[in-house]
Amino acid sequence: MELENKGEFNNSESEQEKISIKKRKDFLREFFKRMNEQIKSGVKPGNFGLMLEEQIKEISENIKEGSSILEIGSYDGLLLEQLRNNKKDYKLTGSDVGNDSLEAVKKRVPEAEVIPFDIIEDKFKDKFDVILMKFVLGCLPLKKAELALNNEDQLLSLQDQEEIWDKALEKVKNNCKQFVLITPALKKEVKAEEANPIFVPDDILEKLLNKHFKNKKMFESKPAEEGNFNIEIYLLSEPIIDEKYGK
């Protein structure tokens, strides 16, 4: 694991840089504390991340009726419920790493299949017509970032984060025909160092999506009802398959 070579022992750093790094570490420690408290409290089904009706319509118009759809990181099943209500007879599968999430999905969308699945650690057992990912990609490095901060007092490098995003997209593109990525994007007036660590930088996202898919369509960006970000939706198809890559 590559860590940022920044900290109190780097004499080449300016005092301002040291202060900035310390502030970011303190910010992240508080973020991870809140995150872990939320995890302990369990999944609470609700409408956080509710997609606009027009956004669901745009997604559905680009997915054939009867398609098999896997959502990675379903949490409480809200997105699957919205797609189900669109009445296009999709074969829905929800997935998450926690049993409480799987139970919440099954309760919300009884007809959906649910499977425990970690996109970083697990192998795909089946292929799907469509894979969905909502507000998940940017969060994938969080576990490693928390360990780096707690064990090494270091910030996880952007290179390490990019490797995690790349690995996830490699798996996705090898197991679907279409990929729908719903991701938050920081508003321009917000500084990245002052935001929660759930965003993929625009330039890196663009590079990775172009690496793994031939066709990319982006829907109109919409501001989130809550938070300092916009919601971006990408429809990706024609995966660029590497035959040497395992599932």
- pLDDT surpassing 70 at residue 219: yes
The residue among 230, 138, 130 whose CA lies nearest residue 180 is 130
Which residues, at least 6 apart from 209, have a Cβ–Cβ distance to it below 8 Å? 169, 181, 216, 234, 236
pTM score of the predicted model: 0.89
User: Would you tell me how many other CB atoms lie within 10 Å of the CB of residue 176?
Assistant: 23
Taking residues 210-228, report their average pLDDT. 89
Q: Which of 124-128, 191-195, 223-227, 243-247 has the highest mean pLDDT?
A: 124-128
The helix/strand/coil state of 2 is: coil
Mind listing the pLDDT tens digit for each residue in 43-60? Answer: 888 888 889 999 999 999
Q: What is the pLDDT of residue 13?
A: 62
**All domains of the chain in start order, with CATH:** 15-239 (3.40.50.150)
